[in-house]
A and B are shown apart, each in its own frame.
Chain A
Amino acid sequence: MHPTHEKATKVISYLEDVILQTVCRILIPFIQVYGLYVIAHGHHSPGGGFQGGVILGASFILLCVAYDINEAKRRMTEKVDTVFCSLGLIIYSGIGLICLVLGGSYLNYSRLGQVLPVNPVDARSIGILGIEIGVGITVMAVMISIFLDLASRGEHEEGLE
């Protein structure tokens, strides 16, 4: 289509920067652990499912920015990403359906105290933790999916610098 454009992109597909790549390689596991910390501490400090999911998605976007987008797509392919989108919603409605099957109304977590060895008040706390995990997984997968769709279609077919 555009021969000069193709020639320009054949020379260099992405910009390698040693400092950026080394720092990102060290930082990304810490960012992911922090994201899991924010999800798990939604009970005692500000945070919860949405916030932790966005932090986990941002760690993957940092990987895409520092390295080539094809190499980042090898870590999380688009099929696995779409499965994760649905998995979080399945966890959320699954917990609601379990509460329905056990005799209460939909999303009434105190009925979970009949299968788990806790009293009904603590069963609500466990139900809240379960659905926050589901929301966190879905939000992370959606952030990655929207970023991959917007960054790799259109003009750039090979690299993201």
Chain B
Amino acid sequence: MKLLALFAVCATGVLLIYGTVDMPDWGDPHSPASVHVSPRYIEKAMEETAVGNIVTSVLADYRGYDTLGETVVIFTAAMACILLMRRRRK
């Protein structure tokens, strides 16, 4: 059983490393992740929102709706723990 698990893990590892051969170089400023919308966020964040921290302004202003969903997720986790754990003592 453990040999089967070890074989599956090694096969997955080899497949993942084979998949990273095609990716752009590490630290390339022209990789597709850093070209399309993130230069606009970096350049316009200070003049449009007056907040220096770009991560906070993207998280709370440009993508504020996702942060609302995020907060609902952690609220739902608390509700799930309450429903599982609290029982009325008879």
Contacts and interface: CB of A to CB of B under 8 A. Distances in A.
A–B direct contact (CB < 8 Å): yes
Interface of A: 42-49, 82, 85-86, 88-89, 92-93, 96, 106-107, 109, 121-122, 124-125, 127-128, 131-132, 134-135, 138-139, 141-142, 145-146, 149-150, 153
Contacts of B49: 121, 124-125, 128
Contact of B48 (A89, A93, A124, A153): A124
Interface of B: 47-53, 55-57, 59-61, 64-65, 67-68, 71-72, 74-75, 77-78, 81-82, 84-86
A124 to B, nearest CB: 5
B53 A43 contact: yes
Contact of A153 (B60, B64, B68, B85): B85
A96 B77 CA distance: 23
A134 B68 CA distance: 10
Contacts of A82: 82
- Secondary structure of the B side of the interface? helix
B61 A142 contact: no
Contact of B86 (A42, A86, A127, A149): A149
Contact of A42 (B50, B56, B77): B56
Contacts of A139: 71, 74
A153 B12 CA distance: 39
A47 B47 CA distance: 21
A128 B78 contact: no
A92 B68 contact: yes
Contacts of A96: 64, 68
Given A89-B75, A138-B71, A128 B56 contact: yes
